[in-house]
A and B are shown apart, each in its own frame.
Chain A
Amino acid sequence: MSREPLLLVDKIVKTFGGFKALDGVSLQVAPGEILGLVGPNGSGKTTLINVISGLYHPDGGLVQYQGRTITNWPMHRRARHGINRTFQIPKPFKTLTVAENVELAHHFARPGAMTPREVLEFTGLADAADRLAQSLNSSQQKLLDLARALTTGPELVLVDELAAGLGPHELHQMADSLRHLADRAMALIVVEHHLGFVNQLTDRVIVMNAGKEIFEGSLALAAQDPIVSAVYLGNDAVDVSSVQ
């Protein structure tokens, strides 16, 4: 990678009791880059997102952002410096409306952030602006998480399984939208099980298994990799073009 990294994660270790959820994971992300993070359930993808966003503090290793060590920063400080995220299980402010959710987050936004109206248009939630967040379906609540993250003015967004529940047309639109964000120099780390969606987004993925990175490269090459095939995709290599 030639560009100066926006985010550098170095040898992160995270344990829960005797279980090592992350075992020396390292990665770099440049501004405007989309990195796919894939792997089977329990491989540590969401734990890594939680460490980068500050929800978990690691037991070892280093997280650097814009050249500064942020390993022990609280979440709100990371958010104020431009790191934000969505959640695998969406976490809206349930008793507030969609508009209120976004306005609340925007109130603490960084300069130049997208306005609430812009993010609602961007995520396709404008028509639901006056609905209570708890009345949205799970996919819409995930989009609301994204809208709320975007309106804080992030430079790095951690997107955790956004595609779940979206139809083919919506997936295509979402991939376009995320690429558009990257074009605006926003870096994205996309945790996803839907490989076709990842393939539409980026040609750089990290494959994780049992808390370790087992592959870094394009999804096409990952599908050919015997170790990846064995632990994640099954023993037979997968033709990526077949999972669009």
Chain B
Amino acid sequence: MLSPKLVSRRSHMGTNVAIPVVLLAAFSVAPMVYANQAVIFQMMAFMVLAQGVNLLYGFTGYLPFGYVGFFGIGAYGMAIGIELFHLPGLVALVVGALFSVIVALILSPLLRLSGAYFAISSLAASEVLYNVVANPALVHLTNGPYGESLVQSYHPETSYIAMVVLLIVTTIIVIVIKNTAFGRALMAIREDPVSAEMAGIAVVRTRTIIWIVSAVIAGLTGAIFGWHLSVFYPSTVFDLSISILAIVFTLFGGGGTAIGPILGSVVLYGLYNAIGISDPQYFELIYGLLIVLLVLFLPGGVVSLLQRRGNYVP
């Protein structure tokens, strides 16, 4: 009998299909029932980013503190596509994705590191990217510290739909990865790279692929985010708190699952919007308390409560 984590997911097909369907329905209807579209849009953006972090941390064990670097470079790739090459918004998204792939390839040697070394070096890399983009000497390319204005390409409806599509696609990617040999290979790498190699897994290739996939997810999120905002600065899209929040949302919900990062984003981003702005002091208190309790009692995230009881968590 196969064990619960590795059992054929065909028996859970309904649950797996339900997640993107529910997300699609929820975010199609949400703008009609909730007036503040910016909140809904940002929640989606964080869901996508949390899924990207999930692929790296939840599945593969790499904690990417500098994940925002891909997000920021995606936003600037998009802006360069529009400003320099006069591409339409949707096509410029591809430029944002390409920029994130290039940066991911350049930074791929970081994958030789692990644990805190990887986390810190990825953070340093994102700071380097920020300083390059914000450099006044590159004003002709990135407009340096003065930010980008894409008002001529401003399409809030289209960019909203693009974010919905990205969220659905990313969620499907996570579900597929979780339920295929590739996901099991990532799980093995997370547990022990040497033993994974002896199980026949090409560790370097596998982790490079997931690194690039994760970078593209962040790059596209940044590109759509920048497009939706239409005016942004380097400090907006290279803000470290974006990485931190995506990581916390993933950890809160539960890494290595498709539902965990979504749950984490809904609860914690929802909490932020409920009291974070009106009562920031209480928000900080509750937020900090939640994280401490999580680390102490639920290191596998909220979904681990279900997993402990032997339930299947998509």
Interface of A toward B, CB cutoff 8 Å:
53-55, 74-77, 79-80, 84-85, 87, 91-97, 99-100, 103-105, 107-109, 129-130, 145, 148-149, 152
Contact = CB atoms under 8 A, between A and B. Distances in A.
Given A55-B194, A91-B194, A91-B195, A104 B6 contact: yes
B191 interface: yes
Chain B contact residues: helix, strand, loop or mixed:
helix
Given A91-B195, A95-B191, A76 B3 contact: no
Contact of B5 (A53, A74, A100): A100
Given A74-B197, A84-B198, A148-B199, A108 B181 contact: yes
A92 B195 contact: yes
Contacts of A97: 3, 5
Contacts, number: 82
B87 to A, nearest CB: 41
Contact of B200 (A53, A80, A92, A96): A80
B172 interface: no
A56 to B, nearest CB: 11
B202 A103 contact: no
B164 interface: no
B310 to A, nearest CB: 10
Interface string B174-191: 000000010011011001
Given A76-B200, A92-B192, 11 more contacts: A77-B202, A87-B194, A93-B188, A99-B2, A103-B6, A104-B188, A104-B199, A107-B199, A108-B201, A152-B198, A152-B200
Nearest to B181: A107
A47 to B, nearest CB: 15
Interface in B261-276: none
Interface residues of B, number: 22
A39 B246 CA distance: 52
Contacts of A104: 6, 184, 187-188, 199
Given A75-B197, A103-B6, A96 B202 contact: no
A100 to B, nearest CB: 5
B14 to A, nearest CB: 24
Contacts of A149: 198
B191 A93 contact: yes
A80 B197 CA distance: 10
Contacts of A79: 197-200
Contacts of A85: 198
Contact of B202 (A55, A76, A148): A76
Residue of B3, B196, B197, B200 contacting most chain A CB atoms (<10 Å): B200
